Amino acid sequence: MVCVGTRLARRPAGRVSEAIVDGAERQGAYGLLESEAVGADEIATAVFESTARACAEEDFVFCPVDGTSLTLTDHDSSKGFGSIGSRNNGASGLKVMNAMALSSDGVALGVTSQRWWVRPKHRRRRHRDELRPEQKETQHWLDAIKQTREVIAKHAPNTRCWFQLDREADAWPTLMEAGLGDHWFTIRASRNRRVVLPDGRYSNLWQWLAQQPVKATYELTVRGTPKRQARIAHMVVRACQVTLVLRDKRTKQRFLAVVNVVQAREQGTTPAGEPPLDWTLLTNRPIQNRKHLTDVVFGYSMRWRIEDLHRTWKSGACRVEENQLRSASAVIKWATILIAVAARIERIKHLSREEPDRPASDEFSPTEIKATVLLRFGKSGRGKPAPDARPTLGQVTLWIAELGGYTGRTSSGGPPGSIVLARGLESVRAAAQALEALTSD
């Protein structure tokens, strides 16, 4: 497994034959993936525990949780895949819930949970209200949160998790599970829940929030996307503590949950034709001052890191959906190793943006740095750093991206992304391996 992971770090790819070029090593990789003696859970445990050990020095870690699906080829329905998306389109693959850990400034530390499942291709659907939580896909959110708590408690007992969940997770079982222990959660509200007011009267959440005074304002840098114009958004924050009235529709049981609510809404800077930014966040994080409020909003903005991870894993550098493995078990093993590689690429990408002056030696070995310089500048190329120079992480990452085809003249005009970094890393790993072999001789 270590050998396979090393080769994937050097050459990320969706297919085994593309990632591992040596014949004997490739055969060994297939043997690992198809073996019944090594389970997918054992490989996953190694990944999760490694991440948890990396969290041990942090007071708290952001833990975004989100689900996605892998669309996979299965022409004769022999691989054990299930339905993906609408059952009418006939797509097949696997569903997965992932959780990852980020440092307090948003740098990827790794993956802490993966929960896989197969959707039946044909089934008679019962109404959601008739199902117990464990019969719904809600259970996968609960399992990912619980698994993350357990692995962090074992390997980083002094580190607190701060779970970041999107609107799909706004359900009473998730609210109850995410707040267990000494951990925090932030869940984006998806519905106008009923609340109990301090005087015992009932109201609804949106109406009660609208009556709250403005607690803070701040400016938020909004990155441009095909659907959103780049801008500096003026955000207005309201907040209060509320008692939510939760209800299990199956049993008709009602119960109360005290949470803090932080609403951040754009005001006065929304471009014509676009909806304003508007987040209503349920959290058990204290909100006693302005910093607490902005921390809650910042924490929720870190949820997008897991979407970046999924892009790098699925269609970016790692292209996991391109694999042609013959069973669901083999796919899960391969995908688990690849997501660890994707997290590594995301870590380098964000560190180079957030902490570009950090020493490159924090993330790269001396041989990797030497290989990067040789490939980028040649033996005596113009602009080559002095032999005793200590390049920064930002410099080395840029050189690696340039080796991968980055020119700085992208359509978005942004910094290097995961694909060019993966291409550059492939060249650097190969050159570093050659240098190590020459040195050992």
Residue 317 φ/ψ, nearest 5 degrees: -65, -35
Q: What percent of the chain has pLDDT over 90?
A: 53
Task: Kindly write down the DSSP assignment for every residue of 312-350, as one continuous string.
Answer: HHHTSSS-GGG---SSHHHHHHHHHHHHHHHHHHHHHHH
What does the pLDDT read at residue 126?
62
C-alpha distances out from residue 189 to 120, 175, 270, Å:
29, 11, 21
Encode pLDDT of 24-66 as tens digits. Answer: 989 999 999 999 898 999 999 999 999 999 999 999 999 999 9
C-alpha triplet 113, 124, 116: angle, nearest 5°: 10
For the chain, list the domains and their CATH numbers.
1-166+303-354 (3.90.350), 187-288 (3.90.350.10), 355-440 (1.10.740.10)
Mean pLDDT of 107-135: 78
Q: What is the pLDDT of residue 14?
A: 86
pLDDT at 411: 47
Query: In which band, very low, low, confident or very high, does the pLDDT at 422 lie, cut at 50, 70 and 90?
Result: confident
Q: Would the pLDDT of 248 be above 90?
A: no
- pLDDT at site 21: 82
**Burial call 88-125: b when 16+ CB within 10 Å, e when fewer:** eeebbbbbbbbbbbbbeebbbbbbbbbbbeebeeeeee
State phi, psi for 272 to the nearest 5 degrees: -60, 135
Residues 360/396, Cβ–Cβ less than 8 Å: yes
This prediction has a pTM of: 0.87
Q: Which class for 265: exposed (0-12), middle (13-18), buried (19 or more C-beta within 10 A)?
A: middle
The overall average pLDDT reported for the chain is: 88
For residues 342 and 433, which has the higher predicted lDDT (pLDDT)? 342
Res 335 pLDDT > 70: yes
Question: pLDDT tens for residues 139-174?
Answer: 999 999 999 999 999 999 999 999 999 999 998 888
What proportion of the chain, given as a percentage, has pLDDT over 70? 95
237 vs 19: CA distance, rounded Å:
48
Cβ atoms within 10 Å of 40's Cβ, excluding its own = 19
Position 125 confidence tier, pLDDT thresholds 50, 70, 90: low
Query: Which secondary-structure segment (H or E) carries 253?
Result: strand 253-266
Mean pLDDT of 407-434: 76
Distance CA 153, CA 42 (A): 19
Q: How far apart are the first and last CA of the chain?
A: 27
* pLDDT, tens digit, 9 for 90 and up, residues 183-219: 999 999 998 999 998 888 999 999 999 999 999 998 8
Contact 141, 165 (CB under 8 A): yes
Position 287, amino acid: I
Task: Give yes or no for residue 278 having a pLDDT over 60.
Answer: yes
Q: Residue 129: is its pLDDT beyond 70?
A: no
Out of 283-292, 369-378, 400-409, pick the least confident. Answer: 400-409
Which one has a higher pLDDT value, 369 or 12? 369
Please report which confidence band the pLDDT of residue 409 belongs to, taking 50, 70 and 90 as the band edges: low
